[in-house]
Each structure stands twice: as C-alpha cells, then as structure tokens.
Amino acid sequence: MTFKKNLLFAGLLFVVASCNQASIETTNIISEILANGQHIEVEKTNKETTSIGIITKHNYGTTHSFRYKITLDEMDIEWNGGSGEPKHLLFCKDTVYIHFLKNKWVEVETIDSVNQASNGQYQIQEAYQVYIDKRYFFKLLGDGYWVDTNPEKYRRQKLICNEFQVPNDNELVLE
C-alpha cells in the first residue's frame, strides 16, 4: 500500500510542478562600414523563456540568452559566436582576428573538514580566434573556419594590424 501512496504522491507532485514554457526571440541587426571600408553586419538574437505552472499558473522564472553572428561582406567571412559577445576585429594583411567575451561555467571545488563539495559559477572570460581561409578557386572550394588563438599572439598582431570595435550591447563586461 505504501508504494501506491508514494506513486500517487509523486504523480500529484509532478502535475502540480509541471510547467509550460513560452519563449520570445527578437533579432536586431546593425550594419556599418568600418574605417577600412569593410562592410560589417552584426546580428544579435535575444531569447527570453518564461516557465509558468500548468495548474498553479505561478511564474517560476524567466531566463535570458543571446547569440551573435557577424558577417564581413567584402571578405565573405562569417563568425557564429553563439553566446560570445564580439568586442574587436583585427584586420591583418592576410587574415582576421576576433576578440570576444564569453560567459563560461567554471567548477570550483571547496574542501572543509567535514566534506568535499564541488560547485561552480559563471565567469566572464576573454577569448581570441583567428580566421583560417583554406578556400580556393574564387572561394568556391575549400573551407574557411575560426580557431582559438592565444592572447599574446593577438596583442603582437595588434601592434602591426588595424583593430576596430564591433558594435554590440555590452551585455558582457570584464570586471
């Protein structure tokens, strides 16, 4: 009999705690000509998701997420940064670098005399990527892709290349 009561209680709890989720997406596009003549298009998509209880109609919270996409028309390059927020583009003679911020989950281990626990927190971190262009025959064949690079290389290239700020909402900032 106890199993049936527990099952009934679990079912009732599931029905009461169940939620409907409603999402709203908005997309903003900024188009500019940079000082070097490059046409840049920055697309930001915001997504707000709200969880409402099916029976209780209680609002259990709203989450916010975003994703960025950059298009450089003259060079036929796209950057799909996801939840990274682009800050700067560095145009060099043969390639392009990007500096962006990302919100990354970092595990933090806490140890005390009683127990050992592991938890985490979000931290805003800087990231850098370089565009590798392996396209040929009028850029119809081959691949172009972004790979991570180290901050020192970006800083060295910054001394000899032209850096431009990417228009964004400054949702992520370093403290």
Pair of tokens at residue 123: 């931290």
Given a cut of 50, the residues of the chain with pLDDT beneath it are none
State pTM to two decimals: 0.75
Instruction: Give me the pLDDT at residue 43, please.
Output: 93
Instruction: Give me the pLDDT at residue 114, please.
Output: 62
Torsion-angle region of 152 (φ positive above 0: left; ψ -120 to 50: alpha; else: beta)? alpha
Query: Radius of gyration over alpha carbons of the chain, in Å?
Result: 23
Q: Residue type for 29, please?
A: I
Instruction: Give me the pLDDT at residue 137, please.
Output: 80
Domain spans, the chain? 18-165
In angstroms, rounded to a whole number, what is the distance separating the alpha carbons of residues 6 and 8? Answer: 5
Instruction: Give me the pLDDT at residue 109, please.
Output: 66
Instruction: Give me the pLDDT at residue 155, please.
Output: 95
